[in-house]
């Protein structure tokens, strides 16, 4: 009985009947209104209550269906993410590349995954890696050199996808951080992207972190905006570094890194207190 009294349908029917009777009775107080017209108008008023209930019910069903679809999308996304993470450990290089593209696609369609996907790609690049391009004690033969080259191409795919996931300079919305500390990198080009961010009270800073990183190939950050910090301590750059039109919002010390040749710094904008060369 209590559940029946709580039923929206019951209260809608009662409201419709009450509206029918109330409007009809009110109109009948006017002698100029016929009984038929009064009943017709009262029925229209009662029907309007029922129609409003129908609209509310349809809207509720629509929202329920949308919630169900969103839950299903989230479940599929979670499964896709978990499967891609699993495939990153596959022995076949083409499978690992496919897993990275799947993660990048997920980041593009589900914004809440973007930072997580970047963290995963950066973590992959921080894995131990050796190649003839880097200084090491490894004795290279044809077999291990070919294996290292295949892994280098996989890592280059990760480097390209990191750029693709990052938002463009000049756009609005959340920015994302990159932790590439201790990574051995082949070729990073973040052309026209935004990186890093501050917390709400600016006490939390999210970086582009290249601490102790080794970069064997091209490194280009032309027209990049770094909203948080830019860490370069003990980073090593073996090729030309292009930082033209770079904007950094916190002080940066380029003298903490080792460059094979002076970096290109045309149009760089950094705060006071920054050091752009060994000489300051």
Q: How many domains does the chain have?
A: 3
Tens digit of pLDDT for each residue in 136-151? Answer: 888 888 888 899 999 9
- Main-chain phi, psi angles of 107, to 5 degrees: -65, -35
Could you tell me if 85 and 98 lie in one domain?
yes
Mean pLDDT of the 99-124 span: 94
Question: Rounded to two decimals, what is the model's pTM?
Answer: 0.76
Domain encompassing residue 27: 2-63
Please give the C-alpha separations between residue 72 and each of 68, 75, 116, 246, in angstroms, as whole numbers.
6, 5, 20, 42
Q: In angstroms, rounded to a whole number, what is the distance separating the alpha carbons of residues 87 and 174?
A: 28
Could you tell me if 206 and 270 lie in one domain?
yes
Domain end: 165, 199, 219, which one? Answer: 165
Could you tell me if 161 and 171 lie in one domain?
no
Inter-residue long-range contacts of 17-22, CB under 8 Å, 24+ positions, other chains counted: 17/46, 19/45, 19/46, 19/48, 19/49, 20/45, 20/46
Could you tell me if 185 and 229 lie in one domain?
yes
Residues with Cβ within 8 Å of residue 11, at least 6 apart in sequence: none
Angle, vertex CA 184, rays to CA 120 and CA 112, nearest 5: 20
Could you tell me if 192 and 268 lie in one domain?
yes
Mean pLDDT of the 40-64 span: 66
| Helix or strand run (H / E) with residue 196 | none
Residue 25 burial class via C-beta count within 10 angstroms: exposed 0-12, middle 13-18, buried 19 and up: exposed
Q: What is the DSSP letter of 4?
A: H
Q: Is the pLDDT of residue 262 over 60?
A: yes
Could you tell me if 171 and 160 lie in one domain?
no
Q: Which residue has the higher pLDDT, 10 or 210?
A: 210
Domain end: 165, 197, 229, which one? Answer: 165
Tens digit of pLDDT for each residue in 67-90? Answer: 777 777 788 888 999 999 999 999
């Amino acid at each position: 009985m209590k559940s029946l009294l709580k039923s929206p349908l019951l209260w809608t029917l009662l409201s419709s009947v009450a509206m029918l009777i109330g409007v009809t009775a009110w109109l009948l107080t006017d002698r100029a209104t016929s009984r038929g017209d009064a009943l017709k108008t009262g029925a229209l008023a009662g029907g309007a209550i029922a129609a409003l209930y129908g609209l509310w019910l349809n809207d509720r069903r629509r929202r329920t269906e949308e919630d169900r679809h969103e839950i299903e999308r989230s479940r599929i996304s979670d499964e896709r993410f978990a499967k891609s993470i699993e495939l990153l450990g596959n022995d076949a290089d083409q499978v690992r590349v496919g897993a990275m593209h799947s993660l990048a696609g997920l980041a593009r369609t589900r914004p809440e995954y973007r930072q997580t996907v970047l963290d995963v790609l950066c973590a992959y690049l921080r894995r131990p890696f050796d190649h003839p391009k880097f200084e090491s004690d490894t004795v290279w033969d044809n077999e291990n050199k070919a294996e290292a080259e295949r892994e280098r191409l996989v890592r280059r795919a990760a480097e390209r996808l990191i750029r693709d996931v990052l938002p463009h300079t000049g756009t609005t919305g959340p920015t994302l951080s990159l932790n590439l500390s201790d990574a051995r990198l082949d070729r990073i080009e973040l052309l026209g992207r935004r990186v890093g961010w501050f917390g709400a009270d600016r006490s939390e800073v999210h970086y582009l972190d290249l601490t102790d990183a080794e970069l064997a190939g091209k490194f280009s950050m032309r027209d990049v905006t770094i909203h948080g910090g830019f860490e370069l301590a003990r980073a090593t750059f073996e090729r030309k570094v292009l930082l033209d039109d770079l904007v950094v919002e916190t002080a940066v010390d380029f003298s903490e890194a080792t460059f094979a040749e002076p970096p290109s710094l045309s149009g760089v904008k950094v705060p006071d207190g920054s050091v752009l060369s060994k000489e300051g």
